[in-house]
Structure 1
Amino acid sequence: MSQSIHADTVLGLLKLKVSDLERSVKFYREVVGFQVLSQEGQIARLTVDGKNTFLILEEIPNAAAAPRRSVAGLYHFAILVPTREQLGLSLRKLIESGIPVGQGDHLVSEALYIADPDHNGIEIYRDRPRSEWRKDVKGNYVMASDPVDIEGLLQLAGDKPWTGLSAGTILGHIHLHVSELPKSRAFYCDILGFDMAADASEMMGAYFISAGGYHHHIGMNIWAGIGAPLPPANSTGLDFYTIVLPTVAELELTLGRIKDAGISLIEQEGIWLVKDPSGIEIRLTSAA
């Protein structure tokens, strides 16, 4: 059995490639609720706390979006808000914006689904208390896609002012289109050390994996087809996402497993770059 990644491992900085930076900044600020930390040239850094970068947007020359569910990469990234009231405020704002909003009560969480102007998928959600999460006889978290209590969320929001995403908001999880499930499981679970939270490979062609007993930090599916290629270099979508280990020592343990597996690593100023079996770039760092 492989060594589990440290329980306090979380996700960090995310970077997306977009076709029109001004349009995307306007959307993420006015609809989703980020603040602009800095903007220079073709790059904008967005924040929720006014200090730390949550999301980087880069405008790509002659950018083109790949057809949905056709390539490996981002299915959606998930913004975890700290309270149900915050989710209600986000819902009210999304409705006011006039964009299509999907929804799902997953039992462990309540989620809203939207897409940015380049069709990058976004989930905004809140977790239920862990005491309410349940597992089946195989040890998988029991999740569903039931209707969300929309009226209850809007009642919580009431007429309270919407001031954007609160400082307690984090990147809760990321969901990826991958080219193969077995190779992805071997990389993420056997090498990186994430634990299987829900094996839905037979039912829906997906895995949900996590650190520390969370319902999932990373989802992966083959809904773009087995063998799905990476998108072209000038495509909009995911550039990279970051996995943050709690200490330098824990980072070194994870890097050691990657090196022992013969997988290439590139170091850039204390950040380590690695690609998963689908070619998706991951950056590894420590909270320290």
Structure 2
Amino acid sequence: MTETSQFALTRPAYVGQAHLIVNDLARVSDYYQKVIGLSVIEKQPSGEILGVNGQPLLTLSTSSNAERAPRNAAGLFHTAFLLPSRKDLAHWLAHIAHNNIQLDGASDHLVSEAIYLSDPEGNGIEVYRDRSPLEWTYQQDGTVEMNTLRLNLQELYNSAPKTLWEGAPEGTAIGHIHLQVGNIPQADEFYQDVLGLKIMARYPGASFFATGSYHHHVAANIWNSRGTQARRDNMTGLAGYSLRFNEKGALDSAVAALDRLGISTERQSDGIVLKDPWGIGLRLAA
């Protein structure tokens, strides 16, 4: 898949960027550059913006009072970086294998092939590629069949190009973001009824939401965080993320629902800013 045909990004709404608060800015930034292959777009003492080919994907911020979030806090389960093709995923796998980067796991989800790891401060990362939507199995209700099967890493590694890996390729994007929340019915209500995303799949303790029949743009689980309360602003981890709308009507519907329900929002020049029920920041923009 090329940048223009990445199915995840052509839907009515998709994830744009993520924003992490970290303690050690230099160390974490170095990891995302050397391991994930992002490059620095903007740099200040208190933060950096990283991305691919000038496209911002990840903001890292730090402050003297940043407090390390506990494992069960609301926030990030993982940021999922979507690569344009299976060849790109294999090339990246060869890169991390040659540099002895520790993995947390690897799975075939039927709709995608995914590799998991964590940055130096424990923020989860997924690097994946999508199979063609023509290969996905949709149920009568429009949900999509997903599973968690073993991914044959050796076979994937063997298929990698023998050329030098030169960083994340053009077209790399944040395909989805996976959150830790305190309550799944409340997450269903917020993402489905308020923001207008559709539930595409369920696992025990997790829901997967998307627009336009993608497998998921946002996921929420309670595997570590059942019953957790809203995160504090100075916690490390996921400060927020953005949802970008290709269709203005979908954005208008979400904003109308927020207004109708009395959910606090702030209109800014680059979008509508709010917090979800667990204090995770969210920016909606066309």
The TM-score normalised by the length of structure 2 is 0.91
- For residues 161-198 of structure 1, what are the alpha-carbon distances to aligned partners after superposition, in whole Å with 9 as ceiling and x for unaligned? 10111111111001101111111111110111101101
- 8 Å Cα contact 2:231-2:279 kept in structure 1: no
Aligned twin of 2:6 = none
Distance in 2 separating the partners of 1:110 and 1:226 = 27
Distance in 2 separating the partners of 1:225 and 1:242 = 22
Residue 88 in 1 paired to residue 90 in 2?
Answer: yes
- 8 Å Cα contact 2:205-2:223 kept in structure 1: yes
- 8 Å Cα contact 1:140-1:199 kept in structure 2: no
- For residues 35-82 of structure 1, what are the alpha-carbon distances to aligned partners after superposition, in whole Å with 9 as ceiling and x for unaligned? 111211111111111x221111112324343232x1111000100000
Residue 39 in 1 paired to residue 49 in 2?
Answer: no
Distance in 1 separating the partners of 2:206 and 2:247 = 30
Count of aligned pairs between the two proteins: 276
Query: What are the residue-to-residue correspondences of 1:4-83 with 2, within 5 Å?
Result: 7-49=11-53, 51-68=54-71, 70-83=72-85
Q: Displacement of 1:222 after TM fit? A: 1.0
- For residues 226-254 of structure 1, what are the alpha-carbon distances to aligned partners after superposition, in whole Å with 9 as ceiling and x for unaligned? 32123443321001100001144442232
| SS of residue matched to 1:157 | coil
Q: Displacement of 1:108 after TM fit? A: 0.6
Q: Which amino acid aligns with 1:175?
A: H
| SS of residue matched to 2:98 | helix
Q: Which amino acid aligns with 1:168?
A: G
Distance in 1 separating the partners of 2:135 and 2:178 = 23
Distance in 1 separating the partners of 2:190 and 2:67 = 30
Q: Which amino acid aligns with 1:285?
A: A
Residue 270 in 1 paired to residue 259 in 2?
Answer: no
Aligned twin of 1:105 = 108
Aligned twin of 1:119 = 122
Q: Which amino acid aligns with 1:10?
A: Y
RMSD of aligned alpha carbons = 1.7
| SS of residue matched to 1:159 | coil
Greater shift in the superposed pair: 110-119 or 227-236:
227-236
Distance in 1 separating the partners of 2:87 and 2:56 = 24
Greater shift in the superposed pair: 90-99 or 246-255:
246-255
| Change over 3 Å in CA distance of 1:226–1:256 after alignment to 2 | same
Aligned twin of 1:165 = 168
- 8 Å Cα contact 2:231-2:278 kept in structure 1: no
- 8 Å Cα contact 1:60-1:236 kept in structure 2: no
Distance in 1 separating the partners of 2:140 and 2:59 = 41
Residue 176 in 1 paired to residue 206 in 2?
Answer: no
Distance in 2 separating the partners of 1:7 and 1:138 = 18
- 8 Å Cα contact 1:72-1:224 kept in structure 2: no
Aligned twin of 1:3 = none
Aligned twin of 1:283 = 283
Q: Displacement of 1:138 after TM fit? A: 5.9
Runs of 4+ with deviation above 4 angstroms: 136-139
Aligned twin of 1:230 = 230
Distance in 2 separating the partners of 1:249 and 1:106 = 31
Aligned twin of 2:3 = none
- For residues 7-36 of structure 1, what are the alpha-carbon distances to aligned partners after superposition, in whole Å with 9 as ceiling and x for unaligned? 421111211111111111111111110011
Distance in 1 separating the partners of 2:192 and 2:125 = 25
The TM-score normalised by the length of structure 1 is 0.90
The percent of aligned pairs where both chains have the same amino acid is 37
| SS of residue matched to 1:258 | helix
Q: Which amino acid aligns with 2:87?
A: E
| SS of residue matched to 1:24 | helix
Distance in 2 separating the partners of 1:225 and 1:249 = 34
